[in-house]
A and B are shown apart, each in its own frame.
Chain A
């Protein structure tokens, strides 16, 4: 299988490195980005579409500051390892869940619950807790020291693992 990383050329990498932030808020943003990379607008849009098809690009859009965008909370639950899949599925089906991960710990399922406000958040968590019939570890953020998900892609390390 050709590795994904080898399907991204220099321009793709410059696009990813240069535009995880600072998307132009002007009439023809893709034309502006294209100009900086020496492409036409339609070539640039085609590249974005291709990155999306390859599964590298989730979307072009905003990352919201979640303390201002609504209510959210990190929660964990300890479930029997052989039933982990089934519990994860229940969690996925609950409204408001994003980021649902299995981790190596007695608390083996970790997810983020979101809602429009604190009241709805508590209701959603109470409901899910009852459905899982297991206590949730509720871990609200008290203070953020570094809350930006964008970080430099280590291209060289990815090419030479």
Chain B
């Protein structure tokens, strides 16, 4: 992972650009020009750099980053599963294909405290709906034999995008 990160150690101007766009593009008619002036590149270079980051996959998506809680999408369940090791990849792929699942990761167990090796997130307007959705996923994907726990969030102390460079 270190090596992967190293690949993206950009020039100083590019690092400044990254730190700036992590905080959001200016809402000015020519946002790329405004950014160019702030990071010491010209506008064409800024756009070319952002397009390169997109094609390299460093930028997953570019657009409106919406806060879901204020909209009323308040139920946020982290569902953790204890899947036999030889099934975890297949189960992860099946969960990820479910519409309601917004994130799905494999992580290590930490025995004895933490037996779970697969995590997924289900967001919704209400707990009851999220739990109903989970029930139907368990049925559809035939996961009844796999132990799982649901961890609803009760409070968000901080919720913002990762800022890798600016801190």
Pairwise interchain contact A61-B151, C-beta atoms closer than 8 A: no
Please, which residues of chain A bring their CB within 8 A of the CB of B159? 98-101
State the 4 A-B residue pairs at the shortest beta-carbon distance, nearest first: A59-B24, A146-B96, A70-B164, A145-B96
Please, which residues of chain B bring their CB within 8 A of the CB of A58? 24, 65-67, 160-161
A1-32 Cβ-contact flags toward B at 8 Å (1 or 0)? 00111000000000110011111011111110
Check A16/B162 contact, CB under 8 A, given A62-B21, A101-B157.
Answer: no
Contact among B28, B62, B106, B161 for A22, CB-based, below 8 A = B62
Contact among A57, A101, A139, A157 for B110, CB-based, below 8 A = A139
- The answer, yes or no, to whether B103 is at the interface (CB within 8 Å) is yes
- B 111-151 contacts with A by CB, 8 A: 113-114, 119-120, 123-126, 129, 149, 151
Pairwise interchain contact B123-A137, C-beta atoms closer than 8 A: no
A96 → chain B closest CB, angstroms? 6
Pairwise interchain contact B2-A118, C-beta atoms closer than 8 A: yes
Q: List 25 A-B contacts (CB under 8 A).
A: A20-B63, A23-B25, A26-B47, A27-B43, A28-B29, A59-B25, A60-B24, A60-B65, A61-B161, A67-B1, A68-B4, A69-B5, A101-B156, A103-B151, A105-B149, A107-B113, A112-B162, A117-B2, A141-B105, A145-B96, A145-B106, A146-B101, A146-B120, A153-B68, A154-B125
Pairwise interchain contact B107-A104, C-beta atoms closer than 8 A: no
- The answer, yes or no, to whether B81 is at the interface (CB within 8 Å) is no
- A 89-119 contacts with B by CB, 8 A: 89, 91-92, 95-105, 107, 110-112, 114-119
B29-53 Cβ-contact flags toward A at 8 Å (1 or 0)? 1111100000000010001001101
- A residues contacting B by CB (< 8 A) are 3-5, 15-16, 19-23, 25-31, 41, 45, 48-49, 51-52, 54-72, 74, 88-89, 91-92, 95-105, 107, 110-112, 114-119, 137-151, 153-154, 157-158, 161
Pairwise interchain contact A65-B157, C-beta atoms closer than 8 A: no
B93 → chain A closest CB, angstroms? 6
Check A20/B61 contact, CB under 8 A, given A59-B23, A66-B162, A70-B5.
Answer: yes
Pairwise interchain contact A23-B164, C-beta atoms closer than 8 A: no
Check A62/B62 contact, CB under 8 A, given A25-B32, A98-B158, A147-B103.
Answer: yes
- B residues contacting A by CB (< 8 A) are 1-2, 4-8, 21-25, 27-33, 43, 47, 50-51, 53-54, 56-68, 70-73, 76, 78, 89, 92-93, 95-97, 101-108, 110, 113-114, 119-120, 123-126, 129, 149, 151-165, 167
Please, which residues of chain B bring their CB within 8 A of the CB of A138? 110
Please, which residues of chain A bring their CB within 8 A of the CB of B76? 101
**Cα-based distance from A108 to B3 in the complex (angstroms):** 33
With most chain B CB atoms within 10 A of its CB, the pick from A4, A15, A48, A101 is: A101
Check A137/B62 contact, CB under 8 A, given A26-B47, A102-B155.
Answer: no
Least CB separation from A62: chain B residue: B59
Pairwise interchain contact A149-B162, C-beta atoms closer than 8 A: no
